[in-house]
Amino acid sequence: MSEKELIKIEQCTKTYGKKVALCNFSCSLKGGRIVGLLGPNGSGKTTLIKILNGLLKDYQGTVLIDGQKPNTHTKSIISYLPDETYLEDWMKARDALSMFHDLYKDFDLEKCLTLMKRMDLHPDMRIKSMSKGMKEKFQLALVMSRKAKIYILDEPIGGVDPAARELILEIILNNYSEDSLVLISTHLISDIEKIFEEVIFIKDGELVISGNAEELRHERGQSIDEIFREVFKC
């Protein structure tokens, strides 16, 4: 498995007016891993993800993706599942499929159709008629059908029921390529912690804990979920 450093962040700070969203945040992420970015709502997860995807530019510090600052090349190697849908109500699933086909050279249409079948989704379905969970599953199918170096999934299990969560985890495990990096942000930890190799805890824009998930369990005799509850106790 590849050990190539795919994301490097050094002392990254991002403010919105007076509010500090990200504060001196540093981390280094290598390929071949599934990494959990864990923090409660408003802790800075989505800000960080938007910076990685080149959607926020006015930050301080260094952000390198595959050795480059966020640009068109880095965008082309990241498959990104945003926390909000970009599927429009007027679309049919088919329209989104052809959009992905046109936009991304690494999009595998056959694979996406197979995944959709497993999710009981059909290309002729209207986005408007899909439930929140169906839209989430469909977007995940689109995103996981790209053969990307980096997958960034912002809250992939937020809106789906527990049974669908298992399917989503299985799809993530089954479809990322072995040397790619999968970064998953979530606040629903117990459902997903077993698939993380590394975890990063973010609190008020700062990194508080990071490390190998199994080592953390071993050192503390606690699950990642329990550590999370302790760190973020109100």
Partner 1 sequence: MINFDSNIPIYIQVMDYIKKEIVSGKLKSGDQVDTVREMAIFFGVNPNTIQRALQELEREGLLKSERTSGRFISATSETIQELKLHQGHEKTTRYVIEMKSLGFTKEETVNLVKESKGDNE
User: 180 and 150 in contact (C-beta within 8 Å)?
Assistant: yes
DSSP structure class, residue 39: -
* Rounded least distance, CB 34 to partner 1, Å: 6
Find the shortest distance in angstroms from Cβ 231 to partner 1: 16
Which positions ≥6 away from 187 have C-beta within 8 Å? 38, 39, 40, 41, 155
DSSP string, 83-150: SS----TT-BHHHHHHHHHHH-TTB-HHHHHHHHHHTT--TT-BGGGS-HHHHHHHHHHHHHTB--SE
> Quick one: which of 21, 22, 34, 119 contacts partner 1 (CB under 8 A)?
34
Q: Is 85 in the site for partner 1 (CB under 8 A)?
A: no
Q: Using the rule CB under 8 A, give the single segment among 8-16, 26-34, 78-86, 122-130 that binds partner 1.
A: 26-34
Tell me how crowded residue 36 is: count the other CB atoms within 10 A of its CB: 24
Q: How far is the CB of 63 from partner 1 (least distance, A)?
A: 26
Nearer to partner 1, 195 or 208 (CB): 195
Phi, psi dihedrals of residue 36, rounded to the nearest 5°: -95, 125
Cβ at position 193, least distance to partner 1 in Å: 6
- Give the C-alpha separation, 125 to 94, whole Å: 8
Of 10, 88, 106, 170, which one interacts with partner 1 (CB under 8 A)? 170
Task: State yes or no: residue 162 binds partner 1 (CB under 8 A).
Answer: no
Angle of CA points 123, 129, 130, to nearest 5°: 70
Q: Is 164 in the site for partner 1 (CB under 8 A)?
A: no
The nearer residue to partner 1, 85 or 222, going by C-beta atoms, is: 222
Nearest distance from residue 103's CB to partner 1, in Å? 28
173-232 binders of partner 1 (CB under 8 A): 173-174, 178, 190, 193-197, 213-214, 217-218, 221-226
Cα 52 from chain centroid (whole Å)? 11
Q: Give the torsion sign (CA, 92, 94, 97, 98).
A: negative
Taking the least distance from each CB to partner 1, the nearer of 66 and 226 is 226
Note the residue count of the chain. Answer: 234
Q: How many residues bind partner 1 (CB under 8 A)?
A: 26
- Residue 93 φ then ψ, to 5°: -55, -40
Using rule CB under 8 A, residue 160 touches partner 1: no
Site residues, partner 1 (CB under 8 A): 1, 32-34, 166, 169-170, 173-174, 178, 190, 193-197, 213-214, 217-218, 221-226
